[in-house]
């Protein structure tokens, strides 16, 4: 049996976290292991879980407060050697430049399109 991928989902908004988990589901691609989700609401807990080395991919809400996902993504890429893939959820498609600044591996705008989010996460994990 294959070990599940650990997917961290950060947002201060419970509905956003639930939407991400629901859209992706436990097995979004037949060739990848199942997903186990860590729903995180605070920046401090994101840092703690990412430092553990147990996260395979992180999805970070750029609209979260008090710390947005793009700033957290930049910090993670700067501080964690071998940082796992990071997907940021942007407020709008024109925020792509902020996602590039954050060094995120992919960006998906709100409102979340299931196909776009799934493709971004699967693509990041396959790379």
pTM assigned to the model: 0.96
Whether residue 121 lies inside any domain: the answer is yes
Question: For residue range 54-65, what is the model confidence (pLDDT) as tens digits?
Answer: 999 999 999 999
Range(s) of the domain holding residue 17: 8-126
What pLDDT is stored for residue 120 in this prediction?
97
Q: 28: domain CATH number? A: 3.40.50.2300
Question: For residue range 19-50, what is the model confidence (pLDDT) as tens digits?
Answer: 999 999 999 999 999 999 999 999 999 999 99
Count other Cβ atoms within 10 Å, centred on residue 27.
11
Statement: residue 93 has pLDDT above 90: no
**Which residues are within 8 A (CB) of 80 and not within 5 positions of it... i.e. 6 or more apart?**
50, 51
Give how many domains the chain has, as a whole number: 1
């Amino acid at each position: 049996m294959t070990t599940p991928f650990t997917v961290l989902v950060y947002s201060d908004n419970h509905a956003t976290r639930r939407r991400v988990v629901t859209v992706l589901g436990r097995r979004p691609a037949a060739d990848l292991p199942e997903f186990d989700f860590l729903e995180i609401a605070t920046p401090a807990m994101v840092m703690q879980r990412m430092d553990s080395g147990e996260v395979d991919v992180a999805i970070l809400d750029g609209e979260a407060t008090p710390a947005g996902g793009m700033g957290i993504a930049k910090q993670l890429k700067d501080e964690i050697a071998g940082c796992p893939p990071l997907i940021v959820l942007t407020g709008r498609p024109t925020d792509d430049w902020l996602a590039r600044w954050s060094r995120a591996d992919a960006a998906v705008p709100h409102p979340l399109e299931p196909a776009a989010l799934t493709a971004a996460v699967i693509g990041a994990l396959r790379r």
